[in-house]
């Protein structure tokens, strides 16, 4: 089922009569059988978009099409959509079996055996051994799987997931997102996944749509959006640790940080810019013991003193003093094979295609 959103808008009016544009002129195509994530900070409009697709919100303007059929005015129960809420929305007085079967209760003329359908879908989500347990006896991950099974029991054309991992601990989040990806691939159901967690979105999605203030900033395969951000917002939103942003100057086709030449840049403009470099975009060229508070910069590289060293798993993150701005820091991610200590001075080169130049409005140059 291909989903098309055409000029989709949703406006709310606040108590003081101010119009809030939760979703503003959205155009998006979600390919059939794909898992697409809507990501962005809280309040960016991603859940509002999901609820319009589900039929819970009526758009202010625009259209929603399923396989080129306009379903904008069709009631939620007739859209063939399965929706999984952030808080599970399970019936605590019913068993797992009864919760999963609930959407079938009013199905007239259903030829298939309901218990067989429940058992098949429970097996798909790995809770077939829990069918006769009460909801109160389940862990968070088991409740989430029950909610997913209930959403899938009517074989929906579209599966909508609203922050499905937010109530789970770190290990369960990882396990559950892997399960959702497996289930989505096995069923082939077109899936829209709403999250503010960019790591979750990047790890399981075929495509991501990054949103801010009700507007899609960029759409594409996760690795493409990460490697080629179209604006500073996208560059900063994706990545952990966050991308480093330096104040720079573009002058005569050269980039400077303060008065220090960093690299050439193919542009005739002379202007203030932002220079953005991801933590993993550096190469450590030289390590020195730190004896002086004054660090002379070298052409084409950044020299900085190490303030903190954090070893996390197989990587080390260095927190360095920003030599171009007082009381400011930037981060570099390196292999644990390099032994660097606090107060060392490191000379850093920049990997090819790992530096992004933005104007002061945040647009990619």
Q: What is the pLDDT of residues 220-240, one digit of tens each?
A: 999 999 999 999 999 999 999
Q: What tokens were used for 296?
A: 């002379």
Q: Is the pLDDT of residue 112 over 80?
A: no
pTM for this model (two decimals): 0.91
H helix and E strand count, the chain? 8, 20
Closest CA to 150 of 193, 200, 92, 89: 89
Single out the residue of 162, 219, 153, 209 nearest to residue 183, CA to CA.
153
The helix/strand/coil state of 143 is helix
Local confidence band at 109 (pLDDT 50, 70, 90 cut-offs): low
* Predicted local distance difference test score (pLDDT) of residue 32: 97
Indicate whether 2 pLDDT > 60: yes
**How would residue 110 be classed by pLDDT, with cut points 50, 70 and 90?**
low
pLDDT at 296: 85
Whose tokens are 């490697």? That residue is: 227
Any idea which of 53-62, 70-79, 138-147, 217-226 has the lowest mean pLDDT? 138-147
pLDDT of residue 88: 81
Which residues, including other chains, have CB under 8 Å from residue 305's CB and lie 6 or more apart? 290, 295, 320, 321, 323, 343, 344, 345
Q: Calculate ∠ Cα 259-319-363, nearest 5°.
A: 55
Please say if the pLDDT value at position 160 is more than 90.
yes
Instruction: Average the pLDDT over 184-204 and give the result.
Output: 92
Closest CA to 236 of 226, 221, 249: 226
Question: What is the length of the chain?
Answer: 365
CB proximity list for 270: less than 8 A, separation 6 or greater: 250, 251, 252
Q: Which segment, 68-72, 108-112, 135-139, 153-157, is predicted with the most confidence on average?
A: 68-72
d(CA 42, CA 143): 24
Residue 347 has pLDDT above 60, yes or no: yes
**314 pLDDT higher than 60:** yes
Contact between residue 216 and residue 184 where contact means Cβ atoms under 8 Å apart = no
User: In the chain, what are the domains?
Assistant: 3-237 (3.40.50.300), 271-358 (2.40.50.100)
The CA–CA distances, whole Å, from 158 to 75, 152, 249, 322 equal 15, 9, 48, 48
User: CA-CA distance, 342 to 328, in Å (whole number)?
Assistant: 16
Whole-number pLDDT of residue 307: 96
pLDDT value at position 108? 58
Task: State the residue for tokens 């999963």.
Answer: 100
Residue pLDDT, tens place only, 273-312: 999 999 999 999 999 997 766 788 889 999 999 999 999 8
254: pLDDT strictly greater than 70: yes
State the DSSP string of 267-279.
Answer: ----EEEEEEE-G
Rounded CA-CA distance 123/193 in Å is 22
Task: Write down the pLDDT at residue 111.
Answer: 57
């Amino acid at each position: 089922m291909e989903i098309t959103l055409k000029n989709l808008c949703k406006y709310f009016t606040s108590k003081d009569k101010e119009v809030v544009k939760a979703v503003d002129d959205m155009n998006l195509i979600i390919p059939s059988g794909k898992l697409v994530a809507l990501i962005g900070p809280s309040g960016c409009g991603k859940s509002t978009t999901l609820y319009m697709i589900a039929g819970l919100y009526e758009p202010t303007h625009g259209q929603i099409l399923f396989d080129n059929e306009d379903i904008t005015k069709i009631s939620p129960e007739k859209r063939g959509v399965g929706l999984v809420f952030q808080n599970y929305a399970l019936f605590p007085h019913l068993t797992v079996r009864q919760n999963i079967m609930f959407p079938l209760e009013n199905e007239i003329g259903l030829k298939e055996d309901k218990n067989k359908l429940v058992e098949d879908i429970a097996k798909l989500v790995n809770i077939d051994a829990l069918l006769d347990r009460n909801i109160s006896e389940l862990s968070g991950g088991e409740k989430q799987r029950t909610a997913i099974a209930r959403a899938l029991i009517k074989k929906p054309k579209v599966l909508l997931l609203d922050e499905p991992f937010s109530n789970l601990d770190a290990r369960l989040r990882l396990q559950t997102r892997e399960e959702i990806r497996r289930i989505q691939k096995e069923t082939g159901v077109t899936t829209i996944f709403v999250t503010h967690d960019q790591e979750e979105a990047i790890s399981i999605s075929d495509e991501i749509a990054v949103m801010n203030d009700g507007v899609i900033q960029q759409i594409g395969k996760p690795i493409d959006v990460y490697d080629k951000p179209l604006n500073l917002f996208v560059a900063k939103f994706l990545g952990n640790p966050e991308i480093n942003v330096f104040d720079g100057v573009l002058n005569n086709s050269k980039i400077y940080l303060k008065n220090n030449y960093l690299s050439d840049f193919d542009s005739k403009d002379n202007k203030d810019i932002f220079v953005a470099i991801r933590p993993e975009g550096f190469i450590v060229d030289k390590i020195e013991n730190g004896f002086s508070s004054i660090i002379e910069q070298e052409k084409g590289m950044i020299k900085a003193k190490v303030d903190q060293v954090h070893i996390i798993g197989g990587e080390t993150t260095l927190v360095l003093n920003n030599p171009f701005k007082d009381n400011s820091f930037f981060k570099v991610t390196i292999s644990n094979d390099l032994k660097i200590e606090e107060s060392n001075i490191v000379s850093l080169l920049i990997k090819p295609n790992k530096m992004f130049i933005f104007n002061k409005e945040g647009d990619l140059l």
